Amino acid sequence: MDLTWIHPIWAVGLPVALAIPLGLWMTRVLDPPPEREGRGLDALATLVTRAIGRGHPTPMTWLEYGRAMLAFNLALFVITFAILWAQPRLPLNPDQKGSLAGLGYKDPAGVQHDGADTAVIFNTVCSFVTNTNLQHYSGEQHLSYFSQLGAVMWLQFVTPACGLAVMLAVIRGLRGQRDVGDFWRDMVRSVLFVMLPLALVTAFSLAATSVPMTFAGSAPATTLEGGSQAIARGPVAAFVAIKQLGTNGGGFFGPNSAHPFENPTPWSNLIEVVALTLVPMASVLMFGRMLRERRHARVLFGVMLTMLLIGAGIVIAAELRPNGAMIRPEIASGPNMEGKEVRFGPVATATWSAATSATSNGSVNGMLDSLNPMGGLVPMALMMINVDFSGVGSGFLNMLMFVIAAVFIAGLMVGRTPEYLGRKIEAKEVKLAMVAILIHPLVITCGTALFAATTWGSSTTANPGAHGFSEILYEFTSSAANNGSGFEGLSDNNPAWNIATGVVLLLGRFPSLLLPLAIAGSLAVKKPTPPSLGTLPTDNFTFGMTLMGVVLLVGALSFMPAVVMGPVADALGKGASPAAASAQPRVSQPLVQVLKDAH
């Protein structure tokens, strides 16, 4: 038996099994009944909310809840920006890191610009505030321990908790509550009872597999040639635990979980890949328990799991083939090992690639840019649909928009009034859902077109032709999906990329939280309709297939032209391959002209 296949079985089977008790736990601690609020374990949440000046829960409408969420994120933005700017003057900086604004960049003409560049700070803050962790810097080189813990790691706790809190408010609206809860109390509960205990258990488990956990500075070492080297280290185990559990994904080290300090053994790899999907899976089951619609939740869970399994199967099959980018294909044999750690191999790396893009996590244990074209298409496609478990809380809300669209379409097909969970779906809800669905492809395709048509795109790609176009498309897709991974052949640390992707990060995050909240508020004030023979069931196989069809159809209509110009053309040999591109001169003309020449 080929033991490499045990890894994907465990990587999917373990989180599915663990999500069941975790979903029950989340239901009990995040939405306690009125008689249990402030008592027992929930007394700890009451104590913390009093400490931050919120002594008693304040009933909020959906609009008040949304305002509180935006105000909290604005405060996070300002504080994090200040920490990263003032990094040299703050404590826990044993290696004397300078300001993140001093990285410098190259313009399209190849001229190096040194000095302060606040665009990289803007991008980094947008990235971590939106639960994305797109990194245009290298963590161990450019951030102090204080910045890693007080800015980055802190946001990795509270931003997934923010998504989970909004999900709780939406669920309450769906069950008819005009008072959707207290944002601050929901935030505190999410951090204290979900993110913190899971992170502690995971961090201790990772430390047991030799992931470093120290506040000492870089370790000096002497190389075999007799030279000196400073080996970066730090509180890595704690950082990696929450980056995986919170669908954050930002690495303590530049190579992320391909680095031997972040992911040293097969056991650490298994722990981390299980943590990728655990909380998003449990959130779906929590939804079913809170609404007492477990069969409906199982249908949604089944649709998401099916798409994840199909995606993982495609990328695994693609990476078990030889590398198609070799200049001399006759020397390539066996699976594609380019860009992969030998200790993991193609199957484990392919499994991770599917899981990290399905859950909008963005962490990697191999180089995505080195995947075969059809293997690279899978992470891109999973981020384009952006509903396959996706981010903590926010991923379920994305799927909810498609559920409303599917209910509306199915109702039209059978001549029934669209209803969802006992309330009529009318024009207002459908319009809001479609806006939420269409913002995602709009920002991706517009950003990709703009950069492909200018030298800011072509001058920063490592490859001409279709693969270079794929690098640009992937960067905007990852930003809009709040994923953060990248085809790292792209030189993206410059003002144009930092500002453009920073704006896309914000547009990918906050409309997808506010619009479902508005829909829940609209449904909450409607009179419930008892189920009848004319009610469309949403808890059976037929609805599951309808929902998957709507998701795939919208994804195909939105992205098919871009996918054909990028990964598909690359797979068909219409664009320059990564290896062949290394022997060609740097391309400075707009990429659209390069694509025309390649075709």
Tokens encoding 99: 């300001």
Q: Residue 228: inside a domain, yes or no?
A: no
Q: Residue 208: inside a domain, yes or no?
A: no
Domain residues for 81? 59-103+113-181+293-598
pLDDT per residue as tens, the chain (599 positions): 455 678 888 899 999 999 999 999 999 999 998 888 888 888 888 888 888 877 677 889 999 999 999 999 999 999 999 988 888 888 888 777 777 766 666 666 666 666 667 888 898 999 999 998 888 877 677 788 888 888 888 899 999 999 999 999 999 999 999 999 999 999 999 999 999 999 999 999 999 999 999 888 788 888 888 888 888 888 899 989 999 999 888 888 878 898 899 999 989 999 999 999 999 999 999 999 999 999 999 999 999 999 999 999 999 999 988 876 654 555 557 788 888 888 888 899 999 999 999 998 989 998 888 888 888 899 999 999 999 998 899 999 999 999 999 999 988 887 777 889 989 999 999 999 999 999 999 999 999 999 988 877 777 787 778 888 888 999 999 999 999 888 877 778 788 899 999 999 999 999 999 999 999 999 999 988 877 777 788 899 999 999 999 999 999 999 999 999 988 888 887 544 444 444 443 344 455 454 455 44
Tokens encoding 97: 């890191």
Tokens encoding 294: 């477990």
Q: pTM here?
A: 0.89
Cα-based torsion angle of the residue sequence 473, 442, 405, 24 in order, rounded to the nearest 10 degrees: 60
Partner residues linked to 221 by β-bridges: 229
Strand, helix or coil for residue 49: helix
Q: Residue 163: inside a domain, yes or no?
A: yes
- Cβ contact 437:402 at 8 Å: yes
Per the structure, the count of domains in the chain is 1
Q: Residue 366: inside a domain, yes or no?
A: yes
Q: Residue 277: inside a domain, yes or no?
A: no
Q: Residue 261: inside a domain, yes or no?
A: no
- Cβ contact 373:407 at 8 Å: no
Strand, helix or coil for residue 41: coil
Q: In the 3-class helix/strand/coil scheme, how is 254-266 assigned residue by residue?
A: CCHHHCCCCCCCH
- Cβ contact 419:407 at 8 Å: yes
Q: Kindly tell me the sign of the dihedral angle through the C-alpha atoms of 333, 336, 338, 342.
A: negative
Task: For the beta carbon of residue 557, count every other beta carbon within 10 angstroms.
Answer: 10
Q: Which amino acid is at 263?
A: N
Contacts of 363 (CB under 8 A, 6+ apart): 243, 244, 248, 249, 250, 251, 256, 257, 272, 276, 352, 356, 485
Partner residues linked to 340 by β-bridges: 366
Q: How far apart are CA 295 and CA 206, in angstroms?
A: 35
**Phi, psi at residue 228, to the nearest 5°?**
-105, 150
Q: Residue 330: inside a domain, yes or no?
A: yes
Q: Residue 286: inside a domain, yes or no?
A: no
Q: How far apart are CA 483 and CA 373, in angstroms?
A: 20
